[in-house]
Amino acid sequence: MLTAQQYKDLGNQAFKENKFEEAAKFYSQAIEQNPNDHILYSNRSGSYASLSKYQEALTDADKCISINPNFAKGYQRKGLALHYLGEFEKAIEAYQQGLAKDPSNSLLQEGLKAAQTELQGTQNNPFASALKNPNIIKLLGILQKDPRTSAFASDPTFMQLIGLMISQPQMASQFMQTDPRISTALSVILENPEAQAIFFSEFAGKVKKPDGEKKDHPQQQSSQMEEEHPQPEQEQHHHTHAEQHHHAHTEQPQQKQHHQPPPKPQPQLEEWEVQKNLGNDEYKNKNFDKALQYYNAALELNKEEALLYNNKAAVFIEQKLYDQALEAIEEGLKVLEVHSSFQKKAKLLARKAKVFSLQNKIDEAIQIYEKSLVEDHVQSVKDELKKLQKMKQDLEAQNYINPQLGEEANTRGGDAFKAGKFPEAIQCYSDAIKRNPKEPKYYCNRATAYMKLMEFPNAVSDLEKCLSLDSKYVKAYVKKANCHFVMKEFHKAKTVYEKGLELEPNNVEMQQGLEKVRFSILQGSGSEEEQQQRAKRAMQDPEIQQILREPEVINLLNDMKDHPQDGLKAIKQNPSLAAKIEKLIEAGVLKTG
């Protein structure tokens, strides 16, 4: 049977992994074991709040405070729950009570400030009542669970915008253009049937529900040419108008749609822009010679536009004329010495780095990409830089490989090991591994040196690598099992010994090691404190965590509390379940007797 502390640890782990339903269940099981632990109610309150179950979160927060009135975090939990229930005055009172216990608590201070801001908003703004609507709270809960909107769904300013949109839908288009969070939220809402139903019901027929499939929002569309080739100015104006049309169609009330003003006329392009756009079209169609003719024509009309040289360089790159591409880029950079622009310089430098990378000048390309990022932080450039840095690292590692020199380094490591110079031995074995990373004995040798320095986790890592290269390397099984035994991970030591004996059944060292492990498991090796520490470490083991999360194991452990005989019968009838329970006993998580 698991203790309250063990259930709590499982709940904490689940909470860290954003598995809030699971965390709440584990905290509930811990509360059954220890109903007077205020921290358990506080933790479960946090889980419920993360699930948007604010009434349950409030109930647990009150229980936490009733058990320990001096626990400041309980008031923070209560204030948060009241805040999201729209009870701002009560939330302020809860935060103030908490600050009386812990005046320097930053969470309480921030919560109090947010609640006061909300209260002032309800007093000064006609749309504040929308934020108390249970449907809106539920809608925000849905947004909070979606990874695209979870980061800002709990932001009070975002809540106010949602409330204002519902009270004054005619302003929706304005908000979507000024705050991209609204566009993202609407995308999430329209993909979720429940959220969609709430949204349109709150608009009370003021907005026409879109028919057919939802089209991507214009701001979400991306163009490869934006990175590799500038978009024509005419196209950019077209996109802006498309956004306005989309917003008007989606958010404006039906009865006002026919009053929309006609679209503004497109601005007249200069002749050089016309030539550039014609070049862009030919570039997209891979007519590179024609594209170059148009770009040259544009430059005859406007030699001060640096990105025209960038476009020429793009053509030369496609034609594999790298030297000419570099010449065009340098001309563009000279223009920017007079007509400075960080963004344009960053684009030209990124193009230059691209040329260097295609010429296999990796160091030069990395240097230029770094300069580009100094001018303007562009994610695509950052990604290209990372790729080149990884390529350089791989090339250096590949060039360093030399099996003969690796064996020499291994010999030096052996000499240092015999002399008791274990750190020096590790350095030599590490060099041997770099020289020949596919030789398993080098990892085993370095693991042995780590064991001498009592660095058992590093030793285990090396031995696992050794066995991945050679699954029949018996010495590695022996050493790995010994490491687990010393770390009191008896369940792991037992498994490793058993695997090793499958390869070499008569290996005396492994036979004796396995007997020693079995004895330690039966005796519960160590003091009570040591056994608790061993169980705590085992709870961090992913294998043990997985077993404890399986429904059949959870049900069995619950049954064992009230009906131990039925539980034993279930174990006997289910070999798979029996093996899992045995693993928990071996790990020290469960005790017998």
Could you tell me the sign of the dihedral formed by the alpha carbons of 496, 498, 504, 507, in that order? positive
Angle (nearest 5°) at CA 236 between 232 and 240: 165
* Res 65: pLDDT: 95
* Res 144: pLDDT: 73
* Res 198: pLDDT: 72
* Res 16: pLDDT: 82
Q: Give residue 561's identity as a one-letter amino acid code.
A: K
* Res 557: pLDDT: 78
* Res 472: pLDDT: 94
Please say whether the beta carbons of 162 and 139 come within 8 A.
yes
Q: Give residue 447's identity as a one-letter amino acid code.
A: A
Task: Of 288, 298, 308, give the one whose Cα is nearest residue 348.
Answer: 308
* Res 413: pLDDT: 95
* Res 123: pLDDT: 55
Helix 180-191 vs helix 193-202: crossing angle, to nearest 10: 120
For residue 120, what are the contacts with CB-CB under 8 A and spacing of at least 6?
none
Please say whether the beta carbons of 60 and 90 come within 8 A.
no
pTM for this prediction: 0.42
For residue 449, what are the contacts with CB-CB under 8 A and spacing of at least 6?
413, 417, 422, 425, 426, 429
Task: Of 461, 460, 505, 513, give the one whose Cα is nearest residue 487.
Answer: 460
Structure tokens at 399: 């060039």
DSSP-derived secondary structure for 231-284: PPHHHHHHHHHHHHHHHHHHHS-GGGGGGPPPPPPPPPPPHHHHHHHHHHHHHH
Q: How many C-beta atoms surround the C-beta of residue 67 within 10 A?
A: 17
* Res 240: pLDDT: 35
Q: Give residue 371's identity as a one-letter amino acid code.
A: K
- HEC string of 478-523? HHHHHHHHHCCCHHHHHHHHHHHHHHCCCCHHHHHHHHHHHHHHHH
Per-residue pLDDT of the chain (593 residues; tens, 9 = 90+): 678 888 898 888 888 887 889 989 999 999 999 999 999 999 999 899 888 788 999 999 999 999 999 999 999 999 998 988 878 889 999 999 999 998 888 888 888 888 887 777 655 544 445 555 666 667 777 777 777 877 765 565 666 566 656 555 555 555 565 567 777 777 777 788 877 777 776 654 444 333 333 333 333 333 333 333 333 333 333 333 333 333 333 333 333 333 344 444 445 578 888 899 999 999 999 999 999 999 999 999 999 999 999 999 999 999 999 999 999 999 999 998 887 788 899 999 999 999 999 999 999 999 999 999 988 888 999 999 999 999 998 888 888 999 999 999 999 999 999 999 999 999 999 999 999 999 999 999 999 999 999 899 999 999 999 999 999 999 999 999 999 888 888 888 999 999 999 999 999 999 999 998 888 777 655 566 666 666 676 677 787 788 888 888 887 777 777 777 777 777 778 888 888 877 777 777 666 65
* Res 467: pLDDT: 96
